[in-house]
A and B are shown apart, each in its own frame.
Chain A
Amino acid sequence: MNRIIAAVVASFLACAPAIADPVAGGRANVVIQPEPPSLMLGLVQNAPTQQIAGNIYEGLLRYDAKLEAMPSLAKSWEVSDDGLTYTFHLEEGVKWHDGAAFSADDVVFTADVFLRQQHPRFRAILEHVASITAPDANTVVFTLKAPFGPFLNAFEVGSMPIVPKHIYEGTDFQNNPANNTPIGTGPFKFGEWQKGSFIKLVKNPDYWDEGKPYLDEIYWHVIPDAASRAVAYETGQVDILPAGSVETFDIPRLAALDNTCMTEAGWEFFAPQSWVWINTRQGPAANKEFRQAIMYALDREFIKDALFNGLGKISNGPFAASTKFNDTDIAPYPYDPAKAKELVKASGYNGEVLKLVPMPYGETWMRLGEVIKQNLEDVGIKVEIVSTDVAGWNQKLSDWDYDLSTTYLFQYGDPALGVSRTYVSTNIAKGSPWNNVEGYANPEVDALFAEGAGTIDPAKRQAVYSEVQKILVDDVPNAWLLDLGMPTIMRCSVKDLITTGIGLNDGFKNAYIEK
């Protein structure tokens, strides 16, 4: 029986290439929003920079939709049994875009010197690393101080873009003129950037992965107005709308157009989760029952359907559904205004007005602020909306000058990389809108997150993380909203654009356009 199945599968596999034969040539037209300040991925980490520069630079690894590591610049790797030594074997014959040869020295320089100085997120990972060495030109060895569970998930191109040592060593990284004409090892080379209009990448003919990429060039169009971006797709100026390029209320109309495909794939690694920041330091929100009341008061089904067009998933807690170790046994808080009212009463709330500072990231997020205000007022909580621009919102959150706010953050595949930072007390510090802004401090949670990060065995990690999820769901340090659905809209003739859990951020290597 098994043999028959194997034979069937084999015949399917044999047919597969005939069904989808990549076509070489052509140009992809993509929207980029907003215009990135720079494409030097080692220095700048904005979402639009990551989206474009992920084609210029490469990481050691990529990750599939299940977040399992896939080869990239590293063709294979081994982890020692004690979980302390990670050995990467690099692709051979790789060249930088300027023709110089790529080697293990570049990787060591990138991790040990360049990113240690310039990359806050990677710097945090380096805390766990004792040494980085290159025993030969094609091997890199990371030795850890102690076992670190998510270490193998830290090599995605945005987290650790490999930069050329021969260009940066001994220079002032920030002011190196090469930053304006970035040089990587990736499938596409920097072509041209007309500020305010477009960014052009061209095919790297010497790419190490023979036969790839298929496209000749990619144009990213800078179109500052959301309605104009929708028109750009309708009139055929662009063929790909990455998630977030149009307002959510335009999505159903665009998705219904001819020859248009939409997918939510390609965001599993980042797993953006949205929530309501609750300043737990002060006022009624210092009380747990009051925070639970907020959770029961929010009509998240409505938020999902009315504001996000049904895309996304109601969060069951602090771990997004696609993040590792999400405990699927935990049920999301139901919408229960009656219960919320009881809890508000029990918390001893006496009519203080809470200041809600919605994240000013466009129309949808402003409407979200209004829905939250309405939901909370329905259960007797008084809310005042304070509007500001992005810089002002950053500042207010960084200074803890708010009662409620909204946000969404990436989870980077593993709770130790993208979740714990929001809840551990060591991460309470003014000056950043992305740390433990809510001021939640619970020694038990700190200890569990530390244990989870220091454990290798997945089953043991699951037990620890299930425990921490239960505590957090009961404590409600933040009111979780949705694991956001991130729709990419494109012409159906664009094939193999999204082939990994990193999606567009290392997107165009396999992409081709059917004639």
Chain B
Amino acid sequence: MKILTRIVGRLVKAAVVLLAILVLNFLLIHAAPGDPAAVMAGEAGATDEMFLAQLREKFGLDQPLHVQLWKYISDVARLDLGYSYRQQMPVLDLILDRLPATLLLTGTAFAVSLVFGVLAGVLAASRVGKWSDTLISSVALLFYATPLFWAALMGVLLFSVTLGWLPPFGYETVGSGFTGWRRALDIAEHLVLPALSLGLFFTAVYSRMTRASMLEVSQMDFVKTARAKGLSPAVIERRHILRNALLPIVTLAGLQAGQLVGGAVLTETVFAWPGIGRLMFEALTQRDYNVLLGVFFVSAAMVILFNLITDLVYGIVDPRIRVQ
């Protein structure tokens, strides 16, 4: 019961936060120089008054700003994210069209970085001071410090251009006609490089955090007690140290999960991955207001959702938090 009240309370707060984000985004975007009509006219390389007026009327930009804002908020309340006149498609369709590709990419990167990061961190912590610890820590530091786009480009140069093992970019082989498992395999091949370059940074962060957190917990009194009881080192490590060291990692995982939708702009651009991040970035340069606001809205909703989930997971990992 308690947990239900808490969730409802959080949802009400979330709605208020979402509304604030919506209004703020709307105003910020409209404060940027230029508008979609001017951008489209600009791209055409020729324009006149009539053309601009036609476009502005079509986009609803001829209305006063507060009217546009009110219309947008009431539309969103009805779960209507508006229409992209530039792309001639409802925004929701555009987003749903791109969402699977992004979730596949960011989800894979998330899983890979979480699993490998925590494993590497546990390994390093249990062998602290030995050469394997030094190796893991150094590699983690290297990944941590490498700019994403550079790692991505180097990956392409090595594995695609030089070795020819993996496709350099794209979601699947265009026009291959693959279906079923053959297609899944094809997509998986295309997924390797972007997911790895996106996951590198977080793998490093997880491993460093796990290592530090485990070392800290292993100095605590209850661990000494456990050792004194004669428990085997493996059990102590798993049940006593790791479980207690997990909290900061859950926090971080919640943070990364919140970025699942909007956090891969660079990776998607370098690898021509047809996802949300690119949709957002292109909408920004084209001042496609509705698309941009729609992506922001979905990302914000995701962040709020994952914060909520993180809170619930805290309770599972550490029962003390549930009581409060």
B-binding residues in A (CB < 8 A) = 27, 29, 34-35, 37-38, 44-47, 118, 120-121, 123-124, 174-175, 179-180, 194-198, 200, 217, 219, 221-225, 227-228, 231-232, 234-235, 237, 388-392, 394-396, 398, 409-410, 429, 431-434
Contact = CB atoms under 8 A, between A and B. Distances in A.
B77 interface: no
A121 B170 CA distance: 36
A34 B284 CA distance: 14
Interface string B78-119: 000000011110000010011001000000000000000000
Interface string B233-269: 0000000000000000000000000000000000001
Given A37-B86, A123-B48, 7 more contacts: A120-B48, A175-B88, A197-B174, A197-B274, A198-B174, A432-B47, A432-B52
B135 to A, nearest CB: 31
A225 B272 contact: yes
Given A198-B174, A431-B52, A394 B42 contact: yes
A223 B52 contact: no
B64 interface: no
Interface in B37-94: 38-52, 54, 58, 85-88, 94
Interface stretch (B6-14, B156-164, B214-222): B156-164
Contact of B51 (A34, A120, A234): A120
Contact of A124 (B42, B48, B52, B94): B48
A175 B87 CA distance: 11
Interface string B145-182: 00000000100110011001001111100110000000
Contacts of B42: 390-391, 394, 433-434
A46 B48 CA distance: 15
A232 B48 CA distance: 38
A431 B54 CA distance: 13
Interface stretch (B125-133, B202-210, B275-283, B311-319): B275-283
Contacts of A27: 175
Nearest to A220: B174
- Point out which of B33, B46, B270 has the most chain A C-beta atoms below 10 A from its C-beta: B46
B44 A180 contact: no
Interface of B: 32-35, 38-52, 54, 58, 85-88, 94, 97-98, 101, 153, 156-157, 160-161, 164, 167-171, 174-175, 269-272, 274-275, 278-279, 282, 285-287
B154 to A, nearest CB: 11
A35 B42 CA distance: 15
Nearest to B276: A196
Contacts of B101: 196
A120 B46 contact: yes
A231 B169 contact: yes
Contacts of B58: 174
B40 to A, nearest CB: 7
Most chain B beta carbons < 10 A, residue from A120, A124, A219, A223: A120
A222 B272 contact: yes
A195 B41 contact: no
B45 A434 contact: yes
Contact of A237 (B45, B48, B87, B168): B168
23 contacts: A37-B86, A38-B86, A44-B40, A45-B44, A45-B45, A118-B54, A120-B47, A120-B51, A124-B48, A174-B58, A174-B85, A195-B98, A223-B169, A228-B156, A228-B271, A231-B161, A231-B168, A232-B168, A235-B160, A391-B42, A391-B287, A410-B45, A434-B45
